[in-house]
């Protein structure tokens, strides 16, 4: 026997209304879920783009620093080259009657002192041309086969010297500048310098 007293009567219109409301809620939930997925995708893509952009900015910063360092080094090198060229031009203009036989190139330059015990029996206090070995006279030892005695010799950064001496080790493109102290000779060591040679035949 059916218990009609506990039965629930549902109005078909109300049931249809509830169904429509439920369908709307389902549809809204799906839309919200899709929007959430979309926002998550956009955020993920944005994070990837930001990371890539950050890496690109870092690479550009490194490249800019490297270019700046290279430019600085080039500027310094050009400044040194320009100064050297300026010194050479000034020396050429000041040379005593520079003629067509004058010439220039890089030499290996050292310094020596008068009455150096290393010269042994040749330690007479005089140069090969019998000048007194006086550093104030700005004397340079040369290879006389290459640089004749009496030549004016301009050494980059040091100025003019007179070729009045030679040495057993001074052969070819070597110069030895007379100086007053062993400390100065040792501190100078061995250097590469541009040199202009003005042979005595070109003197006025």
Chunked mean pLDDT (size 10), the chain, 204 residues: 52 67 75 75 76 78 75 61 63 55 91 72 74 91 94 94 91 94 94 93 50
Structure tokens at 49: 């783009």
Between CA 188 and CA 69 the distance in angstroms is: 30
Query: What pLDDT, on the 0 to 100 scale, is given for residue 20?
Result: 76
What's the pTM?
0.55
Task: Provide the b/e sequence for 7-30 (b: ≥16 CB within 10 Å).
Answer: eeeeeeeeeeeeeeeeeeeeeeee
Question: How many whole angstroms from its chain centre is CA 180?
Answer: 36
Query: What pLDDT, on the 0 to 100 scale, is given for residue 32?
Result: 77
Predicted confidence (pLDDT) per residue in 136-146, tens digit:
999 999 999 99
Query: What pLDDT, on the 0 to 100 scale, is given for residue 203?
Result: 45
Structure tokens at 76: 């310094």
Pairing of strands 103-112, 159-165: unpaired
């Amino acid at each position: 026997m059916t218990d009609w007293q506990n039965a629930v009567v549902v109005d078909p219109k109300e049931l249809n209304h509830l169904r429509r409301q439920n369908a709307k809620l389902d549809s809204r939930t799906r839309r919200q879920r899709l929007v959430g997925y979309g926002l998550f995708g956009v955020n993920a893509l944005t994070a990837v783009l930001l990371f890539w952009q950050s890496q690109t900015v870092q690479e550009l910063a490194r490249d800019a620093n490297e270019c700046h360092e290279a430019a600085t080094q080039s500027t310094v090198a050009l400044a040194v080259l320009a100064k050297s060229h300026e010194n050479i031009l000034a020396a050429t203009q000041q040379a005593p009657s520079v003629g067509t036989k004058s010439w220039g190139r890089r030499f290996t330059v050292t310094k020596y002192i008068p009455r150096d015990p290393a010269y042994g029996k040749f330690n007479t206090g005089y140069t090969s041309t019998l000048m007194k070995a006086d550093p104030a006279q700005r004397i340079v030892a040369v290879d006389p086969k290459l640089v004749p005695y009496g030549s004016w010799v301009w050494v980059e950064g040091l100025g003019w010297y007179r070729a009045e001496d030679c040495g057993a080790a001074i052969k070819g493109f070597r110069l030895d500048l007379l100086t007053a102290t062993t400390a100065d000779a040792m501190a100078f060591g061995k250097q590469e310098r541009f040199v202009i040679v003005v042979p005595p035949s070109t003197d006025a």
